[in-house]
């Protein structure tokens, strides 16, 4: 009889006096691979961090019958987002820095960071050719060889995730734990990653995976489902029935609230966005050129494209965060960009969310302040709000069932609740244009369904204009009418697709 490779018994975790996990017990045999599932705030990421030896816990955790104290030598965790320091040794970056070529030079490149990871404690210049070749191989396998000399700060969320995986694969470990590794990846990248993970699993690495809203890959053998901070199910993957363990994920969310009294049908602007022969490049690297896009008031668009195609950069030209917007012919709300309006005049009419904004947002402010910053379009609240604005924030917190976190620092709540708070920030001022870049990233399946339903009800039958980005076709609102796809084809860098083709690239 095989001896369990990982044994968890009566595991409990408390943070700031609150129980996060309680009474967790299970074991995994060699060559078994685990998917951790669960509702929002069920403790999935906490369990992953405990298994990786990164959090204090009560109870017993044994790995290969040895105590967990040395797991850092045998267990590797790929976190939701990679934290890195600038060349001055500080973790001091800001959201718009990604789009500023000069400021981005303060960040290490992909290759520099991987060289450092290949041989911790030694000088990168002294690495053997074998290790350098290993880096090149991993970059090639993950399809990001062209990013070898790119600053980390300039990577898109999908490219950033591929970089994390390239780093994790440099030095194989006994156990590889991946926290939502598919986040931000396009469909082809998800398939490629599953093939890579399957190959690793066949070579003896034990994989523990939090898939998020994505399907459980074929190589996974066991499922642990967390609910209300306890282990609700543990067993063979084929015996797991989601509908018996999750909340009623297919239920429709019907809202009846004055928060959804959006723009009326009286036209304010004929054209919301118009771009003429747009070009974007970083140094000699051309992202796109001769791009034309016209968005009329009330239209609902899906923006598509593979990782690194320029979606987030294109959106940053609309939101006023990209310096190259001034060198291009762009019209926003009927006015030429750079014709006298301030960046705040532009932002006032836009509700915005993106993975990058989430990553660089000030997480030390309270959840109430984070939502309130949407009125000022700042990352953090720096101005006093009036009573009407305060009341609206309280209504949003109540509406999203988040009143209990109102005064808590943003960093103290789960990643999915942080994202819900920032979604409320995008909606709080009821803007005429919503720019939602991967808004369901990091949300549970239930939260995603809730949010997509909310966006549908906000947008259907109104003059609200929507630009929406999602690699997951389950999270595309029904209200979407048109698709704008960024791709290079016949020397053209875009194409418009009819709404019938809602397959996600």
What's the confidence (pLDDT) of residue 252? 46
Q: In this model, does residue 260 exceed pLDDT 80? A: no
Q: What is the pLDDT of residue 74?
A: 79
Q: What is the DSSP string of 234-291?
A: EEEGGG--HHHHS--TT-------GGG----SS-S-SEEEEEEEEEEEETTEEEEEEE
Look at 62-66, 77-81, 203-207, 295-299 and tell me which has the smallest mean pLDDT: 62-66
User: Across the chain, what does the average pLDDT equal?
Assistant: 81
Provide the strand spans (E) within 6-120: 6-15, 18-28, 34-38, 58-63, 66-67, 75-78
Distance CA 238, CA 229 (A): 23
What residues contact 231, with CB distance under 8 A and at least 6 apart?
23, 24, 25, 26, 224, 225
Residue 117 has pLDDT above 80, yes or no: no
Confidence of residue 495 (pLDDT cuts 50, 70, 90): confident
Give the mean model confidence (pLDDT) for residues 190-202. Answer: 89
Burial class (CB in 10 A: 0-12, 13-18, 19+), 466: buried
Q: Which residue has better confidence, 256 or 168?
A: 168
Q: What is the pLDDT of residue 104?
A: 53
pLDDT confidence tier of residue 258, bands split at 50, 70 and 90: low
pLDDT at site 370: 94
3-state DSSP call for residue 18?
A: strand
**HSE, side-chain direction, 13 A CA sphere, residue 221:** 12
451 burial type by CB count under 10 A (0-12 exposed, 13-18 middle, 19+ buried): buried
Position with higher pLDDT, 59 vs 72: 59
- Between CA 166 and CA 476 the distance in angstroms is 29
- The pLDDT of 82-106, averaged and rounded, is 51
- CA distance readout (Å), 236 to 33, 35, 240, 452, 465: 10, 10, 7, 31, 46
**What's the pLDDT at 244?**
57
Q: Which of 1, 3, 57, 56 is nearest to 25 (CA)?
A: 57
Structure confidence by residue, pLDDT tens digits, 280-328: 887 777 888 888 999 999 999 999 988 878 888 899 889 887 778 778 8
Give the residue with greater pLDDT, 155 vs 49: 49
pLDDT per residue as tens digits for the range 336-376: 887 777 778 888 899 999 888 888 888 899 999 999 999 98
Q: How confident is the model at residue 405 (pLDDT cuts 50, 70, 90)?
A: very high
Task: Tell me the C-alpha distance between 499 and 348, whole Å.
Answer: 29
Q: What is the pLDDT of residue 85?
A: 52
Q: Which residue has the higher pLDDT, 487 or 396?
A: 396
What's the pLDDT at 82?
A: 58
pTM of the model: 0.77
Q: What integer is the mean pLDDT of 447-473?
A: 87
pLDDT: which is higher, 482 or 98: 482
| Packing angle, helices 110-118 and 157-168, rounded to 10 | 20
Percent of the chain with pLDDT over 90: 31
pLDDT in the model for residue 102: 45
């Amino acid at each position: 009889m095989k001896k369990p490779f990982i044994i968890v018994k009566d595991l409990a975790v408390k943070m700031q006096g609150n129980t996060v996990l309680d009474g967790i017990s299970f074991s995994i045999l060699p060559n078994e691979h685990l998917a951790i599932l669960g509702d929002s705030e069920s403790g999935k990421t906490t369990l992953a961090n405990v298994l990786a030896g990164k959090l204090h816990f009560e109870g017993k955790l044994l790995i290969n019958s040895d105590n967990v104290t040395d797991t850092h030598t045998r267990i590797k965790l790929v976190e939701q987002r990679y934290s890195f320091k600038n060349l001055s040794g500080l973790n001091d970056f800001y959201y718009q820095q990604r789009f500023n070529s000069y400021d981005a030079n303060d960040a290490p490149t992909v290759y520099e960071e991987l060289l450092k990871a290949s041989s911790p404690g030694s000088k990168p210049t002294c690495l053997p050719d074998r290790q350098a070749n290993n880096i090149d191989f991993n970059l090639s396998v993950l399809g990001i060889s062209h990013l070898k000399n790119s600053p980390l700060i300039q990577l898109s969320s999908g490219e950033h995730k591929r970089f994390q995986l390239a780093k994790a694969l440099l030095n194989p470990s006994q156990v590889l734990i991946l926290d939502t590794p598919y986040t931000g990846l396009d469909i082809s990248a998800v398939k490629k990653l599953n093939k890579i993970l399957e190959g690793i699993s066949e070579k003896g690495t034990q994989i523990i995976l939090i898939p998020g809203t994505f399907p459980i890959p074929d190589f996974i053998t066991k499922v642990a489902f967390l609910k209300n901070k306890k282990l609700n199910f543990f067993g063979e993957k084929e015996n797991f029935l989601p509908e018996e363990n999750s909340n009623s994920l297919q239920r429709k969310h019907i809202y009846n609230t004055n928060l959804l009294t959006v723009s009326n049908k009286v036209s304010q602007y004929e054209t919301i966005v118009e771009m003429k022969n747009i070009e974007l490049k970083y140094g000699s690297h051309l992202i796109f050129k001769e791009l034309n896009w016209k968005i009329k008031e009330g239209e609902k668009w899906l923006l598509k494209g593979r990782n690194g195609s320029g979606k987030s950069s294109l959106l940053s030209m609309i939101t006023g965060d990209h310096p190259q917007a001034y060198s291009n012919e762009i019209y926003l709300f009927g006015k030429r960009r750079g014709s006298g309006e301030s960046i705040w005049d532009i932002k006032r009419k836009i509700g915005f969310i993106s993975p990058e904004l989430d990553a660089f947002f000030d997480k030390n402010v309270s959840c109430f302040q984070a939502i309130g910053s949407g009125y000022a379009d700042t990352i953090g609240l720096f101005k006093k709000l009036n009573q009407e604005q305060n009341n609206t924030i309280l209504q949003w917190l109540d509406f999203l069932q988040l009143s209990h976190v109102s005064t808590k620092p943003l960093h103290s709540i789960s990643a999915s609740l942080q994202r819900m708070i920032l979604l409320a920030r995008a909606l709080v001022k009821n803007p005429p244009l919503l720019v939602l870049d991967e808004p369901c990233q990091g949300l549970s399946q239930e939260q995603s369904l809730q949010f997509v339903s909310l966006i549908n009800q906000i947008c259907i039958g109104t003059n609200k204009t929507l630009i929406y980005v999602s690699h997951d076709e389950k999270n595309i609102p029904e209200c979407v009418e048109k698709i704008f796809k960024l791709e290079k084809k016949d020397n053209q860098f875009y194409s418009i697709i009819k709404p019938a083709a809602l397959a996600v690239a």
